Chain A
């Protein structure tokens, strides 16, 4: 069970979110998200989570299921229970044994640089 520290956003197991989620701090997803996800902080996707969204995050640790493209500026780690269908762009990529990835992978410091004026995921700011 996730426990809050006051600055993080937690989408609990049993909650369904539809739309564009922009978090200011760290983000933990244990439920369902359909739309776009964006955070400058760290992202953790729980084992029972289902994310059908384009994702942008600082670092990410994934145990659940993702359908969508993912851009991680730092380190993306897929744990053994995870499944990812979509393109991956990240600086450092760690894939655990049994993790499933279907999509194009771009890696390295140059890959995560977004050209000025161009957004990888369209999202609505708060």
Chain B
């Protein structure tokens, strides 16, 4: 049984026609289901958990990365299949998962190519993509094996799944996260960035003062950040053109 969780932005009239086309196509494909609408003062966790309790096995986030993120937060088990049906302006996930935008995504959803993806966890908060911390003074503890310290100003990213960039491509199905450190180096005429990458399964980053981390775009304050990978924690519908 399917449940479609509509982002609150889809209440805008400009999405009416596209939503109607999608609902028709889903009915044609025989995968229509219950519709739940996210709203400003409605707790999405409670809404989605109620649907799962009532027998829903596939939860589809209709919207963008943010909608998917809110759905993931509410789903705690590995049985429920999650999907993104992209409508409107998109972030990185649409391309990474190989989901076309709009009504074309219905056919991909119907094909049900399900991948088991890893999730990252920082201080008990789960993330699918990455964590950014733009603050310099820290020490990284990799268990009892070693410590790592930057010798000049640096920014940190802990990544599970992201678009290929200057730090390459990290797979969400390899059972590891990647610690990425960027250290800008300035000379008279140019700026160069040194990049370090360390794959890991558990790691701790400690700061001297309270700093803010962005966990898939959401703020998390703290001095100590304990990371771990949760292998195969999420069952996600993907398209053939997925980037992993």
Contacts and interface: CB of A to CB of B under 8 A. Distances in A.
Interface of A: 1-22, 24-25, 30-32, 35, 124, 126
A14 B154 contact: yes
A31 B181 CA distance: 12
Nearest to A30: B194
Nearest to A7: B199
Interface string B136-177: 000000111111111110100000000000111111001000
Nearest to B170: A6
Interface in B167-215: 167-171, 174, 178, 180-181, 183, 185, 192-201
Contact of B183 (A2, A13, A19, A20): A13
Q: Chain B interface secondary structure, helix, strand, loop or mixed?
A: strand
B194 A24 contact: no
Interface of B: 142-152, 154, 166-171, 174, 178, 180-181, 183, 185, 192-201
Given A2-B195, A11-B148, 14 more contacts: A1-B192, A6-B170, A6-B171, A6-B178, A11-B196, A17-B146, A17-B148, A18-B147, A19-B145, A20-B146, A30-B194, A124-B143, A126-B145, A126-B201
B146 A15 contact: no
Interchain residue pairs A-B with the least CB separation, the first 7: A19-B146, A12-B196, A4-B168, A14-B183, A4-B197, A12-B194, A13-B194
Contacts of B200: 126
Nearest to B180: A4
Contact of B147 (A1, A19, A24, A126): A19
21 contacts: A2-B195, A3-B167, A3-B168, A4-B167, A4-B170, A4-B197, A5-B168, A6-B171, A6-B178, A9-B197, A9-B198, A12-B183, A12-B195, A12-B196, A14-B150, A15-B196, A16-B150, A17-B148, A19-B144, A19-B145, A126-B143
A22 B144 CA distance: 12
Contacts of B201: 126
B199 A16 contact: no
Contact of B196 (A5, A31, A126): A31
A124 B194 contact: no
B87 to A, nearest CB: 31
B145 A14 contact: no
Nearest to B171: A6
Contacts of A20: 145-146
B64 to A, nearest CB: 25
A14 B146 contact: no
